[in-house]
A and B are shown apart, each in its own frame.
Chain A
Amino acid sequence: MQAPTKSILRIEDMWAGYDGEAVLEDIQFEMFTGDYVGIIGPNGGGKTTLIKVILGLLPVMRGSVSVLGQSPVQARDRLGYVPQVSRTDRDFPISVWDVVRMGREKAGFFGVRSLSAQDKQAIERALGQADVLDLAKRSFNELSGGQRQRVLIARALATNPEILVLDEPTANVDGQSTARLYDLLAELNQSLSILLVSHDLMAISTHVKTIACVNRKMVYHNEKVLTQEMMDLGYECPVELLAHGVPHRVLAHHDHDHLSSNISHKQENNQDV
């Protein structure tokens, strides 16, 4: 069990969606400094919507969200956002250095501001942390998926964030690069709180400290991931499980035979329970 310290993200009775239609219902969630939360759930289950709410990109329909004691819009520049690689334009003409430099652009007008020594240092440090310093002069669009993902992490780090928020960091990334990414995140977690969203339960299960499941509703107990069984359940978010209401223990009252067919296509690791 992890000793919670300071609350950095608090979501209460939150509903959110698009065009008046809720994608997320009655979400309760809290995160503390030093946490490394993996949010899993099926595609279309509302993971990206949740991220948009936290980043202040989507107003909630009901309930409240507090990020670092402020509203999401007020707090968003203190978050390091790492979008999915596939959301960026594959052919966009830009160098790695210029991508990471975006993390130092300031609010307000006039892009003529030249790079201060401090900015330069922050960019170089971020590039180094994400292990892409040697790629700085390369063109972003000639990198592999894993390399581009690390560049986007470097861009988020250049903002000196208090929480790192990642959307599907391993989509379009091959197996070996995925392992490398998680090593990097584990290292960053020593000084940063991390919130990570993925549809890929098996890939994140061994890396995160705690796991939450989103599929319209959310199940989260601020607990360390313990068993394969719990992850299987979490991935599927079966309706009857959610019907118990929150909070409850995902693992305690369920056997998992009815789910086994769904996990066969999942990742190769962790099958050896």
Chain B
Amino acid sequence: MFNTLAEIFSYEFMQNALLAGVLVSLVSGIIGTLVVLNRMVGISGGIAHAAYGGVGIASYFGFDPVLGAVLFSLLSSVTMGVAHRKLRERSDTMIGVMWAVGMATGIIFVSLTPGYRANLMSYLFGSILAVSKEDIWWMAGIALATVLFVALFYRQLLAISFDEEFATVRNLPVTVLSVLLLIMTGLTVVVAMRVVGLIMVIALLTIPSAIASMFFKEMRVIMLVAVGLGVVFISAGLVISFLSNLPAAAVIILLAGLVYFLAFVIKRILLKTKI
């Protein structure tokens, strides 16, 4: 067993993948918890898909697709956030439209891009095994920014997530922090894109913190547990995918989904035996 593991992680691409997995788990566990508590799951789905527009445009004009994804996800996250605040319930529709339009833009520009295009699919479905040392660096940068963001503003973020009106009446920086949270969500989407692809980003954002919040009652504990669960899902998924020769991203998400349903059932049973 240990020999197999040692062998698997003796490859450099597996080491990079594992390192990327840890960084992604850190970012998505923390931001994902805030996304779930602030009911921004729809928005983050929209951000993820709209980001593909940036991937397409960047590759067409010969820039780094990651840069395109970053710009597009920041743009769409702030736009959707503003729409959400102004339109409330009706923002649903607008998020849906941006979701699809971003995707369509990406597909058109990708198809216009001359030459070899297969790697552009990796932004949709993930390519954790192709993560480079360079990728690790910017991922680490975003992970550091995330940790700083939450460490510095934890109390305010908690207050705003729980009761935005009260936070406003207390003159907490509600607007600034909401925009910052949207920006961090956009960056999280791009980091997670590298691992599981834009289409499955939502799963990585929501599943670990959803499981954690079934069993823990404090936001920071939920964040920590979500990070831990992310690391477990990604590293176990990597191993399974290596041994079975199945696509890593899909294995990771399936594993997470499976544990989610198990946790759901366990939680149910626990509730029943309590009563």
Instruction: Give bound CA distance, A92 to B170, whole Å.
Output: 20
Q: Is B158 in contact with A94, judged by CB distance below 8 angstroms?
A: yes
CA distance A77 to B218 in the complex (A): 26
User: Which of B12-20, B126-134, B160-168, B242-250 lines the interface with chain A?
Assistant: B160-168
Q: Which of A57, A76, A108 contacts B173 (CB 8 A)?
A: A108
Judge if A89 is at the interface, Cβ distance under 8 Å. yes
In the bound assembly, the distance between CA atoms of A101 and B159 in angstroms comes to: 9
Q: Would A110 and B170 count as touching, CB distance under 8 A?
A: no
Q: A101 to B162: give the CA distance in the assembly, Å.
A: 12
Return chain A residues, CB-CB under 8 Å to B162. Answer: 88-89, 92, 94, 99, 102
Picked from A57, A93, A98, A110, the residue with its CB within 8 Å of the CB of B152 is A110
Query: What would 19 more interface pairs be, CB under 8 Å, given A105-B159, A111-B153?
Result: A56-B169, A76-B168, A76-B169, A77-B169, A77-B170, A79-B169, A81-B165, A83-B166, A89-B37, A89-B162, A92-B37, A93-B37, A93-B218, A93-B219, A98-B158, A102-B158, A105-B155, A107-B172, A109-B156
CB neighbours (8 Å) of A83 from chain B are 163, 165-166
Please measure, in the bound complex, the distance between the C-alpha atom of A55 and the C-alpha atom of B170, giving whole angstroms.
Answer: 10
Q: Among B155, B157, B168, B169, which residue has the most Cβ atoms of chain A within 10 A?
A: B169
Q: Are A93 and B222 in touch, CB under 8 angstroms?
A: yes
In angstroms, Cα B218 to Cα A139, docked, is 9
Digitize B85-102: 1 where CB-to-A-CB distance is under 8 Å, 0 elsewhere: 000000000000000000
Check B217 for interface membership: any CB of A closer than 8 A: yes
Which of B37, B152, B162 has the most A CB atoms < 10 Å from its CB? B162
Which residues in chain B, 121-155, are within 8 Å of chain A measured between CB atoms?
Answer: 151-155
Partner of B216, one of A56, A92, A93, A98: A93
Interface membership of B213, Cβ < 8 A: yes
Dominant secondary structure at the B interface = helix
B28 vs chain A, min Cβ distance (A): 18
Rounded to whole angstroms, the CA-CA distance of A155 and B171 in the bound complex is 15
How many residues in B have their beta carbons less than 8 Å from beta carbons of A? 28
Known A-B contacts A93-B219, A109-B152, A112-B152; A102 and B166 likewise in contact (beta carbons under 8 Å): yes
Number of inter-chain CB pairs below 8 Å: 88
Residue of A nearest to B157 (CB): A111
CB <8 Å contact, B170 and A102: yes
Interface positions, chain B 169-209, Cβ under 8 Å from A, are: 169-173
Indicate whether A109 sits within 8 Å of B173 (C-beta atoms), given known contacts A93-B217, A94-B219, A98-B158.
yes
**A189 interfacial contact with B, CB 8 Å:** no
Q: B95 to nearest A CB, angstroms?
A: 20
Enumerate chain A residues within 8 angstroms of B219, measured Cβ to Cβ.
93-94
From known contacts A81-B166, A111-B156, A111-B157, infer whether A105 and B217 are also in contact, taking CB-CB under 8 Å: no
Question: Nearest 3 A-B pairs (CB), nearest first?
Answer: A111-B155, A107-B171, A139-B217
Interface centre among B153, B155, B167 (most CB of A within 10 A): B155
Question: Which chain B residue lies CB-closest to A91?
Answer: B213
A95 close to chain B: CB less than 8 A: yes
